Structures are given as C-alpha cells and as structure tokens.
Structure 1
Amino acid sequence: MSYELNAVIGRFDLLRSRTAAMGAEVVAPLRQGMGLVPVTMMSPSFEQALRVWSQGGPVACVEADFHGGDGYQTAAVWHMGAVVWGPVHAKDFTGPRESWPINGALAQLDVVMSASEQAEGHDLFRVLGLGWEQDLEGWQSAARRARWAATYDDWYQEQLAERERAARAAAESEKYRRLPDVPVALDGKAIMELLDLPPGPLIGAATRHLQELHLERGPLSRDEAVTRLRAWAVGQDMGHSGG
C-alpha cells in the first residue's frame, strides 16, 4: 500500500481566495473548515506564493511518501510571509503521534480532536480527513468535485443535505425489502393480481407490509390478508385498491 501527499493546508476560504487566479478547482475540502491545495512541485516561485497566501492566515506546507509501511513526513508552517514553525522531517514513527511532523503542523493551524477521538486513538491527520485520498490525482479529483462551492459553508451544507438524502433513500429502500424468514398469506403473484400491479418495488412493499402485520398480530388468514392489503393500497394512493 502506498500513500503520497504534497500539499498546502489552510482555511478553505483563505486558500480559495488566494488561488482564484489558478481556477476554482484547486482546493479540496477537509474537515473543520480546512482545505488542501495539491502541489506538483516546490520551487522558489511557489515559496513566493506561500508568502502571499500566508498573509491571510497560517498555512502548512506538508509532504508524505509511504510505500509498504516505510516512508517519511515533512512539514512547515508559514504565517505573515515567513516560516514560523519547522520545517520538521521524520522517518521514524515509533514515537507519540502528536510529535509526527504533519500532526505537529496541523496543531499549529488549530486543528483539534474531540475527547472521543482521542480515546479512540485518532490523530490530527485522520481527524482532518487526510486519509480520504491517497495521492496527488485523488486530491485533484476531490478539488474538482468541490469546484462549485464558493465557500466552505456552501460545501458543508451540501454534505449535510446529501447525508439526509442518503438516509431518506435508505429508509425508502428499507420499506421495499422483504424481511427474511417471515411468512406471508399472499405470495407476489397473488399480490399483483389483487392490486392489479406489475412486478416492481410496490410488490416488495406490499409483501413487507404483510410480514410486519404477521410480526405484530400473528399469522393472518388469506381473507384477512386480502382485506388489510386493500386498505394498505388505498393508503399508498395507488389510484385503485385492486379487483
């Protein structure tokens, strides 16, 4: 397994404003309002860019390269046009995680961990989301996916909305999933004939409804199942309750 990182990390909105001339797809969102600019090469001209970017707030220049468990980290923090922490380099990672270069730099950027994250043995690298991608190409892709977001809050609110949509979709899918090993008084063919419906999700939903009734009330007779399923169909607003 390999992991490569060469990037500048800082407040998302700061980096977005400082890189506006480079295009809108160069900042990948992280957690805690932070963002990451993937870097292909460090050079004197890039150091000049860091001087400019860091005038608006601290930014960390980080590098990591691991292959098969062996590798290194390097990190430095810039603020007000100068290096204010580091650079720190390490190849030995047997010591405390908080002393590792990237974790140390993130602490300088006020990245924090909750008590539960600390108890679970996480570090700032993981808390911030630096494991979401594994290489330059991955971070570039993440930046492109967020290019529509003018601010971090725009991106974050969309993430919340997406989670809500996924939860609703999962709940909706659950309605159509047949419960295993719970018998029903009517099979799928009988339900389709009763409700005059083609094969599809509604047949699964009808089957699950009968299974839930079985769990709540015990076994249903065929006649009772027909009556209750017709009433259920009316409540689903199918346009008819079957023949």
Structure 2
Amino acid sequence: MGYQINAVVADTDLLDEETGELDHAVLGELRQDFALLPVTPQLVQELTGALPDFSVAERGAAHPFHLALVPPLADAFRRWSHRGPVAYLEAEFAGGIGRQSAVVWLGGAVSWGPRFDDTFDGPRTGWPINAALVELGVELGAWIDPFAELGLHVERDTAGWLTHGRRGLSVDYWDELAEEWEGRQSAAGQQPDRPRSVVDWGIP
C-alpha cells in the first residue's frame, strides 16, 4: 500500500487563525495540539493566484520538493511563521521505496532545512519529516517516532486527509472504532446466544 503526503503542519491555533478566511483550507486534527493542512492545487491557487508549478528535475538535495515553493507560496508560509514554526512536508512511498522532504519556517524565515532523503539509512530521528516535527516542538511519547506520535500515518494520501478534516475526525478515530467493536464483541460474548428461560439461567 502506498503513502503520499503534501501538507503543512503547525500549531492548530496558528493554522486556524491563518486559514480561517480561505475557501480551500481543510485542517486535519493531529495529536499534541497540531494540525495538518493538505496543500491542494485549489489551495495553492487561492494563496498565490496561479495554478501550482511542479518540478521536473530529479529529486534530491538540490531539488527536494515536487511542488515548487514559488515565492508567493513560500511567502505565505513565511508570514504564518511569525506566529510560530510552520513545516511543509512531502513524502511518497510505494512498494517499500520512497522519499521524503521537509522545511521549517520560524519568525518569517527558513529556520531548518530543506532536507531530502530517499535512502533512510540513518537513524529515524534524522529522517526529514521526523526532524522537522522535532523543530515544531513535537514531543516523543509511546509511539515509535514523531511521525507516528502526531498520527501522520492514519491517512494514506491527500484525499484521506481532506475527508479526515471535513468529518472532524481525530487521529485516534480508527483506534476508537476498534475499541468500540472489541467492547461490543466482548459484551456479546457474555450474553446467551439465544433467548433462554429462567430455568436455563439456573433460577428455580
């Protein structure tokens, strides 16, 4: 199963304030009071007045992103960063092969990155998205890394995150459904399979 992300991640209140007037901004809830903003063609056009531009160069350290962060788009993220750190993240994976890249703005300027990786032969903490999330202030907890800690794994692509945001789901939604299902199964197992008389229940 593949995975794709093309999004901004920042503090929920920051993104609420900066995107509240935008028609094409959909925020997906993450853990630790962060939110994810899918960067769609419609959003890019709303922010820049033009359709998105995509790089045709081979991806690498010199060209880390597929989406061209043209000045009007980068300027929007830069302006938002006066309220706090803002990260732009990209990742594509299919069949166990993939790449990811990230950059962080703070105080109106790039404060970290951009970084690109397609080998992942170093520690997980150094992978671009994990490292960028640490720059945002994500704290490690029970999950394996900052990526999972925030819940970035729960949707597989932009369409999934758009649905996630529009439905107001939490990143624990599927876990909550599983727990609810297990609870129902457990409760059902404690009940008789068919109606029984009081004699069957051992009541004289």
- Cα pair 1:25 1:143 within 8 Å, conserved: no
Q: Are 2:191 and 1:178 equivalent residues in the alignment?
A: yes
Match for residue 4 of structure 1? 4
* Secondary structure of the structure 1 residue equivalent to 2:36: strand
| Aligned amino acid, residue 70 of structure 2 | S
Matches within 5 A, 1:157-168: none
- Asked whether 1:62 is paired with 2:84, we answer no
SS in 1 for 2:121: coil
Q: 1:177 to 1:72 in 2, by over 3 A?
A: same
Structure-2 residue corresponding to 1:199: none
Whether 1:136 aligns to 2:193 is no
Corresponding residue SS for 2:72: helix
The C-alpha deviation readout for 1:129-156, integer Å capped at 9, x for no partner, is: 0001010101111111129xxxxxxx79
- Cα shift at 1:178: 2.8
In the alignment, which residue of structure 2 is the partner of 1:230?
none
Percent identity over the alignment?
38
Consecutive unaligned residues of structure 1, counting only runs of 5 or more, are 148-154, 181-186, 195-205, 211-219, 228-243
1:88 aligns with 2:115: yes
CA distance in 1, matches of 2:29, 2:85: 17
Contact residue 25 and residue 144 of structure 1 kept, 8 A: no
Q: 1:96 to 1:178 in 2, by over 3 A?
A: same
Question: Do the aligned residues in 2 keep the contact of 1:16 with 1:24 (CA within 8 Å)?
Answer: no
Measured in 2, the distance between the counterparts of 1:145 and 1:17 equals: 20
In structure 2, C-alpha distance between the alignment counterparts of 1:24 and 1:48, rounded to whole Å? 18
SS at 2:13's partner residue?
A: helix
Aligned to 1:237: none
Residue 104 (str. 1) matches residue 117 (str. 2): no
Q: Secondary structure at the match of 1:104?
A: helix
Give distance in 1, aligned partners of 2:75 and 2:161: 23
Distance 2:114 2:150 in 1: 20
Tell me the equivalent position of 1:14.
14
1:194-227 CA distances to partner (integer Å, 9 max, x unpaired)? Answer: 7xxxxxxxxxxx98xx3xxxxxxxxx3xxxx2x5
Q: Distance in 1 between matches of 2:32 and 2:70?
A: 29
In structure 2, what is the Cα distance between the partners aligned to 1:24 and 1:92? Answer: 34
Structure with the largest fraction of helix: 1
User: Matched residues in 1 for 2:185 and 2:126: separation?
Assistant: 47
TM-score, normalising length from structure 2?
0.73
Could you tell me which amino acid in structure 2 is paired with residue 10 of structure 1? A
Alignment partners' CA distance in 1, 2:97 and 2:12: 30
State how many pairs are aligned.
175
Opposite residue 174 of structure 1, the aligned amino acid is: A
Change (3 A) 1:176 1:103: closer
Task: Give the secondary structure class of the aligned counterpart of 2:6.
Answer: strand
User: For residues 26 and 170 of structure 1, do their structure 2 counterparts lie closer, same or farther at Cα, with a shift above 3 Å needed?
Assistant: same
Q: In the alignment, what sits opposite 1:78?
A: 105
Alpha-carbon shift at residue 170 of structure 1 (Å): 3.5
Higher RCO (C-alpha under 8 Å, 6+ residues apart): 2
Relative distance call for 1:77 and 1:171 in structure 2 (3 A) is: same
Q: What TM-score, normalized to structure 1?
A: 0.62
Partner of 2:166, secondary structure, is helix
- How far apart, in 2, do the equivalents of 1:173 and 1:145 lie? 28
Q: For residue 22 of structure 1, give the secondary structure of its aligned residue in structure 2.
A: coil
Tell me how large the CA RMSD over aligned residues is.
Answer: 3.3
